[in-house]
Structure 1
Amino acid sequence: MAERRQALTPEALQMMDTIARTGSFAAAARELGKVPSALTYSVRQLEDSLDVLLFDRSSRQAQLTAAGTELLHEGRRLLQEIDAVANRVRRVASGWETTLAISVEDILSMTTVFELVQAFCEVRDGCPENTRGGPATRLRLRHDVLAGTWEALVSGQVDLAIGIAGDHANPGGIEIRPLGEVEFVFVVAPHHPLARGEEPLSDAELVHQRAVAVADTAQRMAPVTVNLLPGQDVLTVSTMRTKLDALLRGLGCGFVPEPMARAHLEAGHLVARQTQRGGHTARLHYAWRAERGALGLGRALQWWLGQLESPTTRRALLERHAGPLD
Structure 2
Amino acid sequence: MEPLNYLASFIQSAETGSFSAAARRLGLTPAAVSKNVARLESSLGVRLFQRSTRSLTLTSGGERFLEQVGSPFSSVLEAIDGVAKDDGQPSGVLKVGMAPAFGREYLLPLLDDFLVRNPAVLPDWHFDNRAVDLIGDGYDAAVGGGIPLTQGVIARELLRADVVAVASPAYLQRREVPRHPADLAHHDGIVRRSVATGRAKVWTLRHDSGEEGQAVLRPRVIFDDPEAMAHAAMRHLGVALLPMPHAAPWLHKGLLKRVLPGWRSDAGPVSVYYPSKKLLPAKTRAFVDHVTAHFRRPDVAAWFDSARYP
TM-score category, normalised to shorter length: 0.5 to 0.7
CA distance in 1, matches of 2:259, 2:22: 58
Bigger CA radius of gyration? 1
TM-aligned CA distance change 1:75 to 1:262, over 3 Å: closer
Q: Show the counterpart of 1:80.
A: 27
- 1:279 maps to a residue whose letter is R
SS of 1:176's partner is strand
- The one-letter amino acid of 2:232's match is A
Q: 2 CA distance for matches of 1:250 and 1:124?
A: 44
SS across alignment from 2:285: helix
Distance 1:266 1:122, change over 3 A: closer
Q: How far apart are residue 213 of structure 1 and its match?
A: 2.2
Change (3 A) 1:158 1:79: closer
Q: Residues 143 and 75 (structure 1 numbering): CA distance in 2 closer, same or farther, change over 3 Å?
A: closer
Equivalent residue, structure 2, for 1:177? 156
- The residue number in structure 2 matching 1:8 is none
Counterpart of 1:286 in structure 2 is 272
Query: How far did residue 154 of structure 1 move?
Result: 5.0
Matches within 5 A, 1:8-87: 77=24, 80-81=27-28
Q: 1:160 aligns with which of 141, 150, 158?
A: 141
Provide, for residues 183-220 of structure 1, a one-character-per-residue CA deviation record: whole Å limited to 9, x for no partner.
3221122333686325324446426623242653x5xx
Tell which deviates more after alignment, 227-236 or 155-164.
227-236
Cα distance change of structure 1 residues 320 and 92 upon mapping to structure 2, 3 Å threshold: farther
**Judging changes above 3 Å, is the alpha-carbon distance between structure 1 residues 197 and 234 closer, same or farther for their aligned structure 2 residues?**
closer
Please list the CA deviations of residues 108-127 of structure 1 after superposition, one character each: whole Å capped at 9, or x if unmatched.
Answer: 364542243222322332xx
> Do the aligned partners of residues 157 and 231 (structure 1) sit closer, same or farther apart at CA in structure 2, a change above 3 Å counting?
farther
% identity of equivalent residues: 17
Q: Please state how far the C-alpha of 1:174 moved relative to its aligned partner.
A: 0.9
1:175: how far off?
1.1
- Do 1:97 and 1:299's aligned partners in 2 also have CA atoms closer than 8 Å? yes
After superposition, the Cα gap between the structure-2 partners of 1:314 and 1:235, relative to the gap in structure 1 and judged at 3 Å, is: farther
Kindly indicate which of the two structures has a greater share of residues assigned to strand.
2
Q: Partner of 1:116: helix, strand, or coil? A: helix
Structure 2 residue corresponding to 1:206, chosen from 172, 185, 200: 185
> Which amino acid is 1:240 matched to?
P
Change (3 A) 1:314 1:74: same
CA distance change for structure 1 residues 224 and 184 in 2, over 3 Å: closer, same or farther? Answer: same
Task: Assess, with a 3 A threshold, how the Cα gap between structure 1 residues 248 and 141 changes in structure 2: closer, same or farther.
Answer: same
Aligned amino acid, residue 213 of structure 1: R
Report if the CA contact (8 A) 2:178-2:184 is conserved: no
Give the unaligned 5+ runs of structure 2.
1-19, 30-76, 204-214, 305-310
1:235 match: secondary structure: strand
Report the equivalent of 2:202: 227
User: Which residue does 2:68 correspond to in 1?
Assistant: none
2:158 is paired with a residue whose SS is strand
Query: Would you say the 8 A contact 1:107–1:257 is kept in 2?
Result: no
Stretch of structure 1 that moved more, 114-123 or 200-209: 200-209
Give deviations 1:84-125, integer Å, cap 9, x for gaps. Answer: xxx986764115563211123456364542243222322332
- Say yes or no: does 1:103 pair with 2:97: yes
Q: Find out whether 1:122 has 2:105 as its counterpart.
A: no
Q: Distance in 2 between matches of 1:224 and 1:175?
A: 29
Letter matched to residue 299 of structure 1: A
> How far apart are 1:248 and its partner, in Å?
0.5
- What is the CA–CA distance in structure 2 between the aligned matches of 1:301 and 1:318, rounded to whole Å? 23
Residues 7-57 of structure 1, C-alpha deviations (whole Å, 9 max, x = no match): xxxxxxxxxxxxxxxxxxxxxxxxxxxxxxxxxxxxxxxxxxxxxxxxxxx
Larger mean CA deviation between 201-210 and 299-308 belongs to 201-210
**Could you tell me which residue of structure 2 aligns to residue 138 of structure 1?**
122
What is the aligned partner in structure 1 of residue 229 from structure 2?
Answer: 243
- Consecutive unaligned residues in structure 1, runs of 5 or more: 1-72, 126-135, 322-326
The aligned residue for residue 256 of structure 2 is 270
RMSD value, Cα? 4.1
The TM-score, its normalising length taken from structure 1, stands at 0.53
Distance 1:194 1:281 in 2: 28
- Return the offset for 1:313: 4.9
Alpha-carbon distance in 1 for matches of 2:125, 2:239: 30
The secondary structure found in structure 2 opposite 1:281 is: strand
Contact 2:164–2:258 (CA<8 Å) still a contact in 1? yes
